[in-house]
Copies of this chain bind each other. A is one copy, B any other.
Amino acid sequence: MDNVKRRRTIRKYTSRDIAPELLDQLLETSCRASTMGNLQLYSIVVTRDQKMKEMLAPLHFNQPMVTNAPVVLTFCADFHRTSVWCKERKAVPGYDNFLSFVNASIDTLLLAQTFCTLAEEKGLGICYLGTTVYNPDRIVDVLRLPRLVMPVATVTVGYPDENPAQPDRLPLEAVVHQESYHDYTRADIDRLYAYKESLPENDFFVKENKKETLAQVFAEIRYTRKDNEAMSETFLRTLKKQGFL
């Protein structure tokens, strides 16, 4: 509990490698996470090779963690292995559809997050790369993912070489609803976002971007409609190519 309470994302790592035995132990224990019908609808591609990291880096907007972390893990929703098993056992698999992608993604993310919690408990630092779902088509190519395998999360892992301040979070009230969803009034938004908007680092972020509000930095610079719509198309096209749509 205390480890999670204190956690922060780590983007800078020392040159110390992660022992293969430790990585295996973490991954094996993570496989204890809940999984649909015990089918384990995931695969993890482990990248340690520097050349492979350099091929992945541009697909993650050249974030330095990709080449600097000793280990990069790409967690993939995988109905391919299960389908091969079916075919080898006189069963006809029916998993080339959207719901199967959803089911496999859920399994995959529960595994990924269990891994991260355990890795941090062992003194490692992790960073999720949201870019995985921006360029899934090119990741599919680099990692040679077959049909019915789709990358959903990338995590860089290593021993921390920084100790950043812990970011804020919204008050719990902002994300919890009792019995049914209660919509947010203007007064709710003012109250729930007051602390976040009052932080000097967020104020700096607004000024640096020459905007009026923090929300504008998100909606107009970091996560824009234009980018979201273009990336939605890429994602849906890749889902189709991988046989899930």
Closest to A155 in B: B34
Count of chain A residues with Cβ under 8 Å from any Cβ of B? 113
What's the nearest-Cβ distance from chain B to residue A232, in Å?
A: 4
Closest to A196 in B: B38
Contacts of A173-193 to chain B: CB distance below 8 A: 174-181, 183-184, 186, 189-190, 193
Q: Mark A214-229, 1 if CB is under 8 A from B, else 0.
A: 1110111011111011
Residues of B within 8 A of A149 (CB): 181
Whether A229 contacts B46 in the complex (CB less than 8 A), given A113-B109, A130-B36, A169-B31, comes out as no
B232 touching A153 by the CB < 8 A rule?
no
Instruction: Select from chain B the residue with minimum beta-carbon distance to A226.
Output: B94
Q: Are A144 and B113 in contact (CB under 8 A)?
A: no
Q: How far is the CA of A121 from the CA of B118 in the complex (A)?
A: 12
| Structural contact, B47 and A179, CB atoms closer than 8 A | yes
Report chain B residues within 8 Å CB of A5. 29, 32
Give chain B residues whose Cβ lies under 8 Å from the Cβ of A34. 9, 116, 126-128
Least CB distance, A83 to chain B, in whole angstroms: 9
- The interface residues of chain B lying within 8 Å CB-to-CB of A42 are 175
